[in-house]
Amino acid sequence: MNILVTGGCGFIGSNFIRQRLTEKNSPLGKLVNLDLLTYAGNPANLADLASDPRYIFQKGDIGDEALVSKLLAEHEIDAILNFAAESHVDRSIDSPEPFIQTNVTGTLRLLNAARRHWASLPEPRRAAFRFLHVSTDEVYGTLAPHDPAFTESTPFAPNSPYAASKAASDHLVRAFHHTYGLPVLTTNCSNNYGPYHFPEKLIPLMILNALDGKPLPVYGDGQQIRDWLFVEDHAAAIWLTLQKGRPGETYNVGGLNERANLDVVKTLCALLDEKSPRPGGASYSAQIAYVADRPGHDRRYAIDCSKIQRELGWSPRESFETGLAKTVDWYLSNRAWADEITKTRYQRERLGSAK
């Protein structure tokens, strides 16, 4: 199977590629990684695998239909996995337009190229072709404390510009299946965490701020609840969905780990107290600082992933405790990676503000 992965230098995409290239006996031919390398795309995430003869990196935009069409034909692509997205809610609140450009227009153009390529394939390659779109639980909106978890039939009710852009892209994917017959699959995941997570997201930000002696900023009262999914479990679910999922279907992927943000931060502090104690022995929890809440902050997300468990036989391997311990260990062992990407981000933002 020759696959095109878009956004493969980002957090989830790079973990997926790493899993595919390191798994023994994987039915993988070429793996082409198309990434524009915006602020969250980091080639260092895959530097140790760059010499794999199956791996091909191409810098470029999913909105460049000519480039995408060239890659699909040249590498005889059998499946597209679309990880490419602007994904940070705070950034979408500050500036929504890049999210529309990448998540909506970019996905549309990627679908256009995919449809042309698929239509040109001979049987049985045409029948086997798949387009898998990676999305988020945020398209479903927010839940009250005792509401049932999101299912695949939960109506969309996005509350941030980011969530609205992902909901639009999900609708486009569905429409291309209904109108053109393109064999698509969609996965909607809960909050991911794990190695190579961009340092502005909650868990890596708290780890790195704690180690640097900086405040640990917690929005509002810290009681916003998320369902936490270890990224390697998510990558395995995506691969299984690609192989066994029914075209036109959506599969929710959740970690079965609902936690309040404040509890996540306190758990991280306890792990760091154990694994990298502060001088003098004080707890990292002393660095917790409450800040003004995010505008329109969703109160609770929870994923019902019984469909993918029942139909495809997937379940998360990691509990929140084991996954978080692995994540903390990774960041303690990879400070240079985090320092470099943080420095690069700040340099780009300074340059941008000077224009």
Instruction: Name the residues annotated as catalytic.
Output: 137-138, 162
Strands (E), 137-222: 184-189, 191-193, 216-219
- At residue 132's C-alpha, the angle toward residues 60 and 11, to 5°, is 55
Q: Which of 101, 97, 126, 98 is nearest to 114 (CA)?
A: 126
Tokens representing residue 9 in the block: 């230098």
Report how far residue 137's alpha carbon sits from residue 298's, in angstroms, rounded to the nearest whole number: 11
By the 8 A CB rule, do 35 and 59 touch? Answer: yes
- At residue 31's C-alpha, the angle toward residues 30 and 37, to 5°, is 145
Tokens representing residue 282 in the block: 């004080």
Angle, helix 320-333 to helix 261-275, in steps of 10 degrees: 50
Q: Is residue 53 reached through a cis peptide bond, with omega within 30 degrees of 0 on the bond before it? A: no
Report how far residue 320's alpha carbon sits from residue 328's, in angstroms, rounded to the nearest whole number: 12
Report how far residue 328's alpha carbon sits from residue 265's, in angstroms, rounded to the nearest whole number: 12
Q: How would you list the strands of the sheet with 250-253, edge to edge?
A: 55-59, 31-35, 3-6, 79-82, 130-136, 184-189, 250-253
In terms of residues, how long is the chain?
355
